[in-house]
Structure 1
Amino acid sequence: MTGFLFELSFYLAAPVWLLMIFAPRWHWTERIAASPLTVVPILAVYLALALPVFPELWAAVSSPDLDRFRELTALANGAAAVWAQVIAWDLLVGQWMYREARLRGISPLLMGPLLVLTILLSPFGVLVFLALRATRRKPTPATPTPTPDPA
């Protein structure tokens, strides 16, 4: 069951990633990417994996220690729970990147490969995106031009 839940966490995130990469201009992609609720099913998987190893999980996070973390990830449920957590947070970061790119007019042709990099190695993808984002100014709302008074 743990192996199934481990794989399920990725498959629950994959449709959102696929939309952002392959259908970035579709109106439903924007609506879906705007919702933080996309991670709720993944977090349900996380809970199913984490609850059976909660004492080990709590020990690893309440008093961070490399050996305790190693003990947690040596357990199948522990490693799979950490994986589900990573998948959920990576998806949230990817959604933020997608929306920021749209706001700043960054080409989907550039963002597609960058989102793939973020799926695989999110810290690298985020750093590249932050560098790219720094080169793009946030668009400001257009100031309406005053209309002449007809009188």
Structure 2
Amino acid sequence: MGWNSIYLLANYWAMAGWLLLAFAPRSPRILSIVMYAGVLLLCLVYVVLITGFLTGGIDPGGQGGGDFSSLAGVMKLFDAPGGAVLGWVHYLAFDLFTGMWIARDADNKGFSRIAQVPFLFLTLMAGPVGLFLWLLVRERRARAQAKAK
């Protein structure tokens, strides 16, 4: 399977998780599907890829080289098709996990599903932006709930 196929498969897989998270009932079963069939499998792909790259068992393509010790080293890692896919799967896994946390937190704080959609969409498209805005918005409700206890 080529890098483009892995990239597309990971994207479609993550999108299925996001659609369940945004539109399916938030039953424990649905949340488990998103967590284990979505996040866990994306994490597994990441583990297989990074282990393969580090051990030399999988060729990331490109000219090789690169490391995490400098910006130039990281840029070289992402120059390889496999490195770009690895980074993308990393984003997909963590953004979906973050979206799941936001959805569950919003449910617990009494936010409607419609009010959650912008935060979930922003988390899907620009992870830290959605999380940042959610953290700002949730604070007021969290304090009110703490006072009520």
Give the TM bin, normalised by the shorter chain: 0.7 to 0.9
Contact 1:60 1:72 (8 Å CA) reproduced: yes
Indicate the residue corresponding to 1:105 in structure 2.
110
Aligned length: 139
Contact 2:66 2:75 (8 Å CA) reproduced: no
1:5 corresponds to 2:6: yes
Q: Secondary structure at the match of 1:60?
A: coil
Indicate the residue corresponding to 2:99 in structure 1.
94
TM-score by length of 1: 0.77
TM-score by length of 2: 0.78
Indicate the residue corresponding to 2:20 in structure 1.
19
Q: Note the C-alpha offset of 1:27.
A: 5.5
- Between the aligned partners of 1:32 and 1:135, the Cα distance in structure 2 is 30
Encode CA deviations 1:42-73: one digit per residue, 9 max, x unaligned: 12322443344327999623xx2100001100
User: Residue type matched to 1:134 in 2?
Assistant: E
- % identity of equivalent residues: 28
Indicate the residue corresponding to 2:53 in structure 1.
53
Encode CA deviations 1:78-125: one digit per residue, 9 max, x unaligned: 011010011001111111101100000011101112201110001110
Using the TM superposition, name which of 50-59 and 111-120 deviates more.
50-59
- Runs of 5+ in structure 1 lacking a partner? 144-151
Tell me how large the CA RMSD over aligned residues is: 2.7
Q: Give the counterpart of 2:89 among 80, 84, 92.
A: 84
User: Residue type matched to 1:7 in 2?
Assistant: L
- Runs of 5+ in structure 2 lacking a partner? none
Indicate the residue corresponding to 1:29 in structure 2.
30
Higher alpha-carbon Rg: 1
Query: How do 1:120-131 and structure 2 match up within 5 A?
Result: 120-131=125-136
